[in-house]
């Protein structure tokens, strides 16, 4: 039993390993793999922890964007020095309104889809328990105090910072596009088929499918809305290769592009492309090349269309590799030193230079054991880390980082 507990503790510090899938399985596999990344409570199968620890821990934290912050009393957040204090998910509406989730578990074995949600309305100075034993598969922050959760095929929303939740109902009919003030989500049809894009009116607690769906098998957590343009990642249904679809009219019409460099999902391990953008007008797509020895990076801009940036010089990463774009427009790719996705202990950052070559780069203050970097609508960057550097980190430019809490 001791060895089992130690194994569970180790697993609690890492995401789940990747698994190969074909075009028909891409959505279920993507759901399992990305639970813990990209706005979800890891995105079903997450890690396990032993217990939640009592409140009243005093911790020195830093205000987002500052190098040094004043000491603050953290409320009932689990003790970060114990296995129970391992952050499972982090979200933010801006540098002030922050959210963290921990597994809700008193004894092992733990359920891996029930969490305790904590929130801060002062940039991480103080925290309060918002919901205990929250059952959720995906969690997304859509504004200050406003969140959406997804479990199975059911959605619920909160407009009081995660304290109370109300079901979102499916309205009759279809939407021609995503209206102002609403968000787009990809709702699964079943365990094997592609998900379908829906608009969600968080305030009105209603959702409806888009009349025009992207012409690809969309990835469950691959919807991006930036600069008024929608982007969706997934798989081309004809070729089985990685693909993206975009819409510049809020989902009324779509344009798709597949990548010949990617392997066919039906005949080789295949993972959906990673997409990064800040404005929706310049987009970077990173994917494993068919050779299996390197990653390929493409850039799309409204002026130049698609361009291949790096040929065989960016090391191959596991399915957990990800990227983001800094405030000054530099593309940064995280390649895990261990290609297994369940070991995010050695993220190596590669940055695109002005000469068009990716080189290893250091991001000041950001540890190597971090999960994907996210960006709030007002441009603040944040992420969280595992291992000895566990905690939440923030940045105003994506280059200089400081701890929000450790």
pLDDT tens by residue, 288-304: 766 666 788 999 998 99
For the residues 68-96, what does the mean pLDDT come to?
71
- Cβ atoms < 10 Å from Cβ of 406: 17
pLDDT(23) > 80: no
CA 323 – CA 286 distance, rounded (Å): 8
- What was the pLDDT predicted at 113? 80
Q: Is 60 exceeded by the pLDDT of residue 12?
A: no
Is pTM beyond 0.85 here?
no
Which tokens sit at 111?
């359920």
Provide the pLDDT for residue 214: 96
Within the chain, how many helices (H) and strands (E) appear?
2, 29
User: What was the pLDDT predicted at 52?
Assistant: 27
Cα-to-chain-centroid distance, residue 132: 22
Given this model, what pLDDT does residue 160 score?
Answer: 96
- Say what the alpha-carbon torsion angle 218, 331, 37, 116 is, to the nearest 10 degrees: -130
Q: Sign of the CA dihedral 91, 87, 139, 164?
A: negative
Question: Does the pLDDT value for residue 223 go beyond 90?
Answer: yes
Q: What is the pLDDT of residue 36?
A: 39
Quote the pLDDT of residue 107. Answer: 67
Give the model's confidence band at 129: pLDDT under 50 very low, under 70 low, under 90 confident, else very high.
very high
Rg (CA), the chain: 20
In percent, how much of the chain has pLDDT > 70? 70
84 pLDDT band, cuts 50/70/90, is low
Mean pLDDT of the chain: 78
């Amino acid at each position: 039993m001791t060895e089992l507990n130690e194994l569970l503790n180790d697993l609690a510090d890492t995401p789940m390993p990747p698994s190969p899938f074909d075009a028909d399985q891409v959505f279920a596999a993507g759901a399992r793999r990305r639970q813990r990344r990209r706005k979800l409570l890891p995105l079903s199968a997450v890690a396990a922890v032993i217990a939640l620890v009592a409140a009243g821990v005093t911790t020195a934290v830093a205000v987002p964007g500052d190098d040094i912050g004043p000491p603050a009393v953290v409320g009932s957040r689990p003790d970060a020095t114990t296995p129970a204090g391992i952050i499972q998910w982090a979200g933010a509406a801006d540098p002030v309104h922050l959210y963290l989730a921990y597994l809700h578990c008193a004894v092992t074995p733990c359920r891996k889809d029930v969490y305790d949600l904590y929130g801060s309305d002062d940039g991480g100075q103080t925290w309060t328990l918002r919901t205990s034993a929250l059952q959720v598969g995906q969690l997304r922050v859509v504004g200050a105090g406003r969140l959406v959760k997804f479990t199975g095929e059911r959605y619920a929303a909160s407009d009081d910072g995660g304290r109370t939740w109300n079901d979102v109902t499916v309205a009759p009919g279809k939407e021609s596009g995503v209206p102002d003030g609403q968000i787009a989500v990809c709702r699964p049809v079943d365990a094997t088929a592609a998900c379908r894009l829906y608009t969600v009116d968080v305030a009105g607690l209603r959702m409806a499918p888009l009349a025009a769906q992207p012409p690809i098998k969309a990835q469950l957590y691959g919807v991006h809305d930036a600069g008024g343009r929608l982007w969706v990642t997934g798989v081309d249904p004809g070729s089985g290769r990685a693909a993206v679809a975009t819409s510049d009219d809020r989902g009324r019409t779509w344009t798709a592009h597949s990548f010949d460099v990617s392997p066919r999902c039906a005949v080789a391990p295949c993972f959906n492309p990673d997409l990064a953008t800040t404005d929706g007008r310049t987009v970077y797509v990173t994917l494993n090349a068919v050779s299996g020895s390197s990653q390929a990076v493409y850039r799309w801009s409204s002026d130049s269309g698609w361009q291949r940036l790096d040929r065989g010089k960016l090391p191959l990463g596991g399915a957990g590799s990800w990227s983001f774009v800094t405030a000054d427009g530099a593309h940064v790719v995280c390649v895990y030193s261990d290609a297994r996705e369940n070991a995010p202990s050695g993220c190596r950052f590669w940055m695109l230079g002005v000469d068009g070559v990716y080189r290893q780069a250091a991001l000041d203050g950001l540890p190597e054991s971090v999960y994907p970097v996210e960006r709030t609508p007002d441009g603040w960057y944040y992420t969280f880390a595992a291992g000895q550097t566990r905690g939440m980190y923030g940045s105003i430019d994506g280059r200089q980082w400081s701890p929000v809490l450790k």
